[in-house]
Structure 1
């Protein structure tokens, strides 16, 4: 998604704006729309040509309220605009599409195996993945950071889940089909055909993985789900499949696009790059600004459980409500000068990983991987430069960059350090 600075006073007819349209996020100017909505219509209804409709909330406080309060806004009917108007078959089965107590029973055991402490033994592999990802910079040629980033999370998430390495590229492609079915590079057919095809293949794939682990238990994340108890019982086959899908999708949504968007921000704000490289200890703080800036997960949807009033708008039971995270992370009431990229921004209470009970369970893994990657980038790269057009993903769910060719000038000795690390660590796929 293009990140623009809204011009005050820009005329805009909010009744003609279609926040459902994925083209808006690839080629349009959603930040100007959101700024107008935050100011003039913080709860705004969109009705699509086919009669489906949804409410949008764009202010930080309202986004948090919608995501936090499952008693008024349920996740069990679906959480993404891609299934607006339909009942989600994963409702009450997949952690992301359930409410307490089902959600709590699923989340608690999974949180233990995906905590920062539990992931520490995997750090050496993540570091190897980082070095392999940066290795193409050694020849001084063009490096497409978006393509490399798309493969990046599979190299450690695939390992955690125990998925065969030869399957990783296709799985990454399928998850992008699922979140960007209208994108020309991923669309296979008109209408909902691409989304249906991606879901069918991913669910069939994980069904096979689960069946194999039931025959032969494994010490990996899929094996953990097979043996896990939630609410005093083992998960059913379909529940395990849905949650495998959700974990893989979550891994491939945030991390790749946060990488490309953060590097693009540094190219466009060279003074901030200079501040960061002058003080590498800023990395944890700067990464949070990169996540706020990128806001890769663009929205989450809920359904109203009872009639209620929000900012003088009357919402009926069963109405869909969409919380726009990208807008909340630019709310002027919460973030000082929100359209300034600031690697020292404190406080930074962004909602890039969501908010409330559905806060991204994979956030610790994403932060570990991003920190390792940018630790290396900050100490190795003197300057990035664009080497071609930046192409944005056509998706209303993921604010992503699908192509971003770069060149990089490395610091003295950086090439030797990366090359030595790659040679000593041995091969790993990225």
Structure 2
């Protein structure tokens, strides 16, 4: 998805297709979202196959849809690839139940992912990122968009308990889940790609659990921890363990790489921002928040209206699918001054909703924030400059906003 909007456009709202993959691959969704926020904050669309959904694009409405489970439920599924067909894992995945079940599962798993809990991993993560960046410092063309999908596996693989030999396959499978139409990941039809990836990921975690139990190993990793989790009074079933392990793998692998590459591109296109961050390392945490806002890698989330619900000047009927557009909310001028400018000194950048909002706020946010902070600390400390060495290419997906190619050349930073 293009991150810097092009020239203003006259948008015909009657012809807007928010599921048009070309809009995100080669087009520019930002003028469309701008027009929707201004003129049609609750937008109804019927697809050619008869499926329909309502979209909210303003920041406050997005937060309400994601934050009010009494009005908008997660129980039938939360991702747009399931539109029209209830998610078979709904109610079992941590990402789908409404409170109180969601709270019980989240509390049990989240104890291992608090900011305090993940802080002890910082040195290990820094070492992994230094190794990741080394090829870029050798002077050859380096492609962070192509390489970054492996970064979460390098960082979190040991923490999850995933052996290195499996990283490449798992990265490929998680990409297939979130971008089943992209030619880099598609295997046959979009439906076939989704079916293959879901099956293989769940089967992987199921086999992992069986092997761990047979080995009788101690509870040392996050996936090990799932095997001992009690949600409420009862332990999680094997199916719930497998599905939530799948969800953790998906969350760990999917968004952070695109935040990395999209933020790198923003700094390449704005060398003054790169230099400002180099001159003042204390700006890096805010750079991370602005990068999260700017890239909005998880472009949207879906909910279903519990009853006829008034929102954004209209009504969503009971059972209607509502898509909350994160990428639009994070460019809402009512919340972010000059929202289409990338500014690492922006006041209020942390209000971004890239991690979602409400009870389903991303459980891995502390780990993602730390990974991004360490990445940019090391990048800025080691790189004197970064220049494009070719045209960026965008992921073909309306769910994940990202890059598939970003060839750059890096010059080492001279030490005083």
> Is TM > 0.5 for Structure 1 vs Structure 2?
yes
CA distance in 2, matches of 1:71, 1:365: 29
- Asked whether the 8 Å contact 1:21–1:396 carries over to 2, the reply is yes
Residue number in structure 2 paired with 1:383: 385
CA displacement 1:311-331 (0-9 Å, x = unmatched): 332211110000000000000
CA distance in 1, matches of 2:411, 2:190: 44
Residue number in structure 2 paired with 1:22: 21
1:181-330 alignment to 2 at 5 Å?
181-215=180-214, 216-218=216-218, 219-330=220-331
Matched, 1:399 2:398: no
- Asked whether the 8 Å contact 2:142–2:409 carries over to 1, the reply is yes
Name structure 2 gaps, 5 residues minimum: none
- Asked whether the 8 Å contact 1:251–1:362 carries over to 2, the reply is yes
> What is the Cα deviation at residue 21 of structure 1?
2.5
Residue number in structure 2 paired with 1:125: 124
> What is the Cα deviation at residue 413 of structure 1?
4.0
Matched, 1:154 2:153: yes
> What is the Cα deviation at residue 347 of structure 1?
1.3
> What is the Cα deviation at residue 260 of structure 1?
0.5
CA distance in 2, matches of 1:197, 1:221: 25
- Asked whether the 8 Å contact 2:56–2:312 carries over to 1, the reply is no
> What is the Cα deviation at residue 6 of structure 1?
5.7
Residue number in structure 1 paired with 2:352: 350
Residue number in structure 2 paired with 1:374: 376
Name structure 1 gaps, 5 residues minimum: 415-430
1:11-90 alignment to 2 at 5 Å?
11-90=10-89
Number of aligned positions between the proteins: 413
CA distance in 2, matches of 1:71, 1:278: 47
CA distance in 2, matches of 1:282, 1:145: 22
Residue number in structure 2 paired with 1:361: 363
CA distance in 2, matches of 1:396, 1:157: 26
Moved more, 136-145 or 46-55: 136-145
CA distance in 1, matches of 2:278, 2:415: 15
- Asked whether the 8 Å contact 2:137–2:410 carries over to 1, the reply is no
CA distance in 2, matches of 1:314, 1:142: 52
CA distance in 2, matches of 1:250, 1:22: 22
Moved more, 186-195 or 292-301: 186-195
CA distance in 2, matches of 1:232, 1:6: 54
Residue number in structure 2 paired with 1:331: 332
SS at match of 1:321: strand
CA distance in 1, matches of 2:160, 2:383: 32
> What is the Cα deviation at residue 23 of structure 1?
2.6
- Asked whether the 8 Å contact 1:287–1:370 carries over to 2, the reply is yes
Residue number in structure 1 paired with 2:101: 102
Distance 1:37 1:384, change over 3 A: same
CA distance in 2, matches of 1:214, 1:21: 45
CA distance in 2, matches of 1:300, 1:236: 26
Residue number in structure 2 paired with 1:426: none
CA distance in 1, matches of 2:49, 2:245: 33
CA distance in 1, matches of 2:155, 2:387: 28
- Asked whether the 8 Å contact 1:20–1:81 carries over to 2, the reply is no
Root-mean-square deviation (CA), in Å? Answer: 1.2
CA displacement 1:98-133 (0-9 Å, x = unmatched): 100110000012111011111122222101111111
SS at match of 2:53: strand
